[in-house]
């Protein structure tokens, strides 16, 4: 088999890259390890930056998102039972949209299908070869048959647990990593939201986040121990903790059946550079942020936007300048977002240890500063809604 760009991974990064390349008249094949049903049901991100929404709309993927996504003009920050509003629209003129990642993935798959795109699901034994030459290829098994996919470029969009990152030799690659002493328990409940905006809460018992998906579906997260089994969190315990951590006088939490429950480890991670020869990493395969800033999906979109432009420029003009600048251009945004995500995490979570009491006083002080200073609130707001993408 031969294509122009072999894309490993059919998550948001891989599928969007394939679509953007198609708009430039460039062929690609997407190789995805899981089934289509699995990737479309996997509950993950929910918050889209304005720049992500604008890009998806401009490339013809906005129809359902603009109809069903909910525009939010701010968020609440809470310290114990004191809640304050950060008005994004007022401070920055920009907003966010709540639209589930699996809906974005459904829209992308549907559009790739309609445009005759090649997305192969349930492939196995994926391995990339000869990436440092100008004849790279991917070996994989599909439907019980071994294949070789030859391409001009390989895009590693295979997430944090993929195989592409490891194709960059250890001597070339530098890993920057921070692992946090807690995880997130995420749940989806069939009950209407209890708030008009997301609530990020720092409570003496730990962090909690109230998000939503629709008028009948709410999403919640609780800081938990990183290695806790899901069984340690029966539904009663979850609702008790959410009531405690999100509670303010006069406010009621609406409770309903829990239909999804997952514990995720929290980490900051960057692999530099994002390119080796003809292999380009994009999205979670190159970097992970703690989810507190709601940035991972948005960063993946920003990467593939740059990559598609660079590849298109190469085919159009023969110039490799865009490809040569890709890694550095992405890393500039990656580190801004790393800082913001770490900062939001540090503001709202309990890290424990001997400095815990000191750190909580610092968090309290920062919370008060955000309330009293428009400059401080604007810094949070402009990072949260997303800095300009280009
Ligand atoms: P992935 O979505 O991981 O896709 C990679 C794909 O590659 C997968 O489909 C995988 O099956 C496939 N794959 C892996 N290995 C192979 C292989 N060897 N061969 C073939 N295919 C392979 N981000 C936000 O922007 N906003 C949020 O609100 C937000 N909230 C989050 C909440 C939680 C609890 C979590 C866990 C994440 C959240 N994120 C959020 C992050 C966001 O979900 C990720 O950053 C995003 O999924 C990255 O997309 P991706 O395509 O790079 O990687
Ligand atoms: C959601 C996830 C996040 O990580 C976040 O910071 C805000 C919202 C969500 O899934 O809705």
Please report the pLDDT score of residue 389 as a whole number.
Answer: 67
pLDDT surpasses 60 at 290:
yes
Give the number of whichever ligand sits closest to the CA of residue 199. Answer: 2
What residues flank ligand 2, with Cβ below 6 Å? 45-47, 198, 209, 211, 219, 291-292, 294
Of 38-42, 121-125, 160-164, 368-372, minimum mean pLDDT range: 38-42
pLDDT in tens, 195-215: 999 999 999 999 999 999 999
| Domains in the chain: boundaries | 5-72+95-177+268-345, 180-266+351-385
**CATH code of the domain occupying 5-72+95-177+268-345:** 3.50.50.60
Give the number of whichever ligand sits closest to the CA of residue 292. Answer: 2
The predicted complex's ipTM stands at 0.96
pLDDT in tens, 319-356: 999 999 999 999 999 999 999 999 999 999 999 999 99
pLDDT surpasses 60 at 390:
no
Cβ-contact 386, 49 below 8 angstroms = yes
Alpha carbon distance 387, 333 (integer Å): 9
Long-range residue pairs from 369-376, CB within 8 A, at least 24 positions apart, any chain: 370/77, 370/84, 370/86, 371/84, 374/91
Exposure b/e, 224-246, CB count within 10 A at least 16 = b = bebeeeeeebeeeebbebbebbb
Distance 164 CA to ligand 1 centre (A): 14
Exposure b/e, 104-119, CB count within 10 A at least 16 = b = bbbbbbebbeeeebeb
Q: Which of 45, 183, 261 to mutate to test the pocket of ligand 2 (most atoms within 8 A of CB)?
A: 45
Going from the C-alpha of 253 to that of each of 218, 242, 349, 383, the distances in angstroms are 11, 8, 21, 29
* Closest-lying ligand 2 atom to the alpha carbon of residue 212: 11
pLDDT interval class at 388 (50, 70, 90): confident
What residues flank ligand 1, with Cβ below 6 Å? 8-14, 31-34, 39, 44-47, 101, 123, 126, 157-159, 161-163, 184, 186, 264, 283-284, 291, 294-298, 300
**CATH code of the domain occupying 180-266+351-385:** 3.30.9.10
Catalytic residues: 72, 200, 291, 295, 384
């Amino acid at each position: 088999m031969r294509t122009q760009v072999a894309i490993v991974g059919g998550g948001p990064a891989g599928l969007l890259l394939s679509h953007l390349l198609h708009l430039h008249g460039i062929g690609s094949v997407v190789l995805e390890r899981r089934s289509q049903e699995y990737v479309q049901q996997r509950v993950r991100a929910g918050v889209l930056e304005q720049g992500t929404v604008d890009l998806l709309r401009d490339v013809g993927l906005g129809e359902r998102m603009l109809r069903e996504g909910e525009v939010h003009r701010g968020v609440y920050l809470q310290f114990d039972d004191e809640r304050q509003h950060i008005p994004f629209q007022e401070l920055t003129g920009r907003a966010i949209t709540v639209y589930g990642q699996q809906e974005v993935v459904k829209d992308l798959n549907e559009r790739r299908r309609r445009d005759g795109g090649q997305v192969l699901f349930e492939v196995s034994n994926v391995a990339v070869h000869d990436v440092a030459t100008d004849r790279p290829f991917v070996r994989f098994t599909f439907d019980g048959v071994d294949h070789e996919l030859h391409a001009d470029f390989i895009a590693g969009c295979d997430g944090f647990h993929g195989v592409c990152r490891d194709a960059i030799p250890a001597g070339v690659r530098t890993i920057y990593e921070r692992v946090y002493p807690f995880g997130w328990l995420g749940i989806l409940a069939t009950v209407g939201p209890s708030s008009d905006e997301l609530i990020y809460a720092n409570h003496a018992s730990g962090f909690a986040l109230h998000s939503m998906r629709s008028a009948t579906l709410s999403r919640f997260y609780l800081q938990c121990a990183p290695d806790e089994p899901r069984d340690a969190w029966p539904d009663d315990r979850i609702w008790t903790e959410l009531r405690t951590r999100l509670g303010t006088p006069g406010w009621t939490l609406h409770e309903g059946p829990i239909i999804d429950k997952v514990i995720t480890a929290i980490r900051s991670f960057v692999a530099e550079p994002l390119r080796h020869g003809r292999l380009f990493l994009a999205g979670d395969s190159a970097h992970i942020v703690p989810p507190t800033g709601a940035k991972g999906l948005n960063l993946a979109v920003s990467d593939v936007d740059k990559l598609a432009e660079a590849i298109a420029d190469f085919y159009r003009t023969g110039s490799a300048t865009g490809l040569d600048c890709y890694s550095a251009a992405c890393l500039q945004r990656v580190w801004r977002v790393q800082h913001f995500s770490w900062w939001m995490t540090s503001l709202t979570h309990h890290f424990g240890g001997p400095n815990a009491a000191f750190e909580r006083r610092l968090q309290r002080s920062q919370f008060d500063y955000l309330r009293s200073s428009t400059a401080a609130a604007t810094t949070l707001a402009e990072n949260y809604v997303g800095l300009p993408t280009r």
